[in-house]
Amino acid sequence: MAKSVHTKRRICVVTTNRADYMKLRSVLRVLQKDPAVDLVTIVAGSHLLRNYDNTIEFIRKDGFSVDYTAYIEIDGRVPVTMAKSTGLSVNEFATAFHNLKPDIVLIHGDRYEALAAAIAASLMNIFTAHIEGGEVSGTIDEHIRHAITKLSHLHFVTTKDARGIVIQLGEHPRMVRRVGCPGIDTLLATQRLPLHAIEKRVNERYIKWGSKLSLRKGFILCVQHPVTTEFSAAAAQTSHTLYALKKMKLPVVMLWPNIDAGADYISQTIRLFQGKPEHDFIHVFRNFPPELFLNLLRHASVLVGNSSAGIREASYFGTPVVDIGTRQKGRKRGRNVVSVAHDRTAIARAIQQQLTHGKYPAEYLYGRGGAGRKIADILKTVRISSIQKQMVHL
C-alpha cells in the first residue's frame, strides 16, 4: 500500500454492528477531539440494514462523520452466506482502505466482518490494532477472535487472563496492552433513568400498535443470538427459551437476534410464538440506543439468553443473568450468572432461582472505565513504521 501523504496520524475505525459501536464509542470520542489525529470511519454490516433499524443513525447522531459505507451482507442467514459475506467484505474493505489510506486500522471483537477487515489490512501492509483479543468463548467466535489476533500488530485486551492468552499465541508482550473494556466507559457515563421514564419512552417511541409495556412490577430482558456452529438447532433452542419465559408470568422485553447463520430461524420462531393472543406478554424490538438498553439492563429483574451483555455489562449492575447454551462458554463471569443448557425446564428453574435471589453486588471484572482514553493515547504514540511480525517464544 502506498504511504499516506497526510501530516496527522490517520486512524481508521471499523464498526459493523450495534454491539461493537457501543464498545468503540468512547475511543472515537477521544480520537475525534485530538488535533493530532485524523479520524476516519468505515460503517458496514448490520448498521446499514433496514431490518436492524439503520443503526448508522446512532453514529451520526453522536456527531461522528461516516467516511465510507460498506454494503457487505449477503442475505440468507446460513453458513454459506456468512462465508460469502466474508469474501465480499475483504474486497469492500480493501477498496475502503485503498481510498482512505489509513496509518492504523482499529478493529473490535470476533465477528466475520472484523476478520475480513483484518485480512484486507494485513495484506495491504497496514498497521492493525485489535480490541478484546485473547478471550475464550463458545462457537466459531473464538476461532475468529484468535485469527484476528494473528493478523493484528497491537492488542488491547480486557483482562489479565486475556493478555496471557494473546502472549501464548506468540504476540510480543509489549504489544499486548491490558486496558479493560471500552464499552464500560459508555456504561459508567450513562445517566441513570427511573423505571417510569424508561417505560414511557419505550411505549411512546417503540410500540406503534398492540398492548403497551408495563415494567414497574418487574420484567425480563431477553437477548438470544444464533450459535453459528449449531445454526440448524436455532429454532428449537429459541422455542425452549420462549416457553420457559411463558412460565414466569412477567412481561418480556426481547431484542431481535444478530445477523449470523440461524438468525432467520430465531426470528421466525419468535414471530410464530408472539402471534398467539395468549403470548402478549412478550414485546420484541429491533434495537435500542445504547443508553436505553443499558438502563433496561440496569432495571431488569433478570437477563435471559446468550448475549455478552450478560457476561460483561450486567455484572456492573448486579443484574441476575441466566446464560443459555455454549455461546459464552469460557468467558470470565461474575457471581450474577447462572448457566444452563437449552432445556425449557432447566431454563425456567434457573430464571425462578434468579428472580428469587434478586440483585447481586456489583463486580468490575472488565475494568473501571477509562479504556477509551487509554486506547486512544496508545494509538497516537505507538511505533507503526515496522509491520513485520515474528513469533515470540517465551
What are the residue ranges spanned by the domains of the chain?
9-182+370-381, 193-357
3-state secondary structure (DSSP) of residue 320: coil
pLDDT at residue 108 is higher than 60: yes
Pick the closest to residue 162 from 211, 199, 109, 112 (CA basis).
109
How many angstroms separate the CA atoms of 88 and 360, rounded? 44
Matching fold, domains 9-182+370-381 and 193-357: yes
What pLDDT score does 6 carry? 62
pLDDT single digits (tens) 33-62: 999 999 999 999 999 998 888 899 999 999
* The CATH number, out of the four listed (3.40.50.2300, 3.40.50.2000, 3.40.930.10, 3.40.50.300), of the domain defined by the range 193-357: 3.40.50.2000
For helices 344-357 and 234-246, the axis angle rounded to 10 degrees is: 50
| Domain 9-182+370-381: CATH class, spelled out | alpha beta
What pTM was estimated for this model as a whole?
0.91
pLDDT single digits (tens) 316-371: 999 999 999 999 998 999 999 999 999 999 999 999 999 999 999 999 999 999 99
Residues 178 and 159 sit within 8 Å (Cβ to Cβ): yes
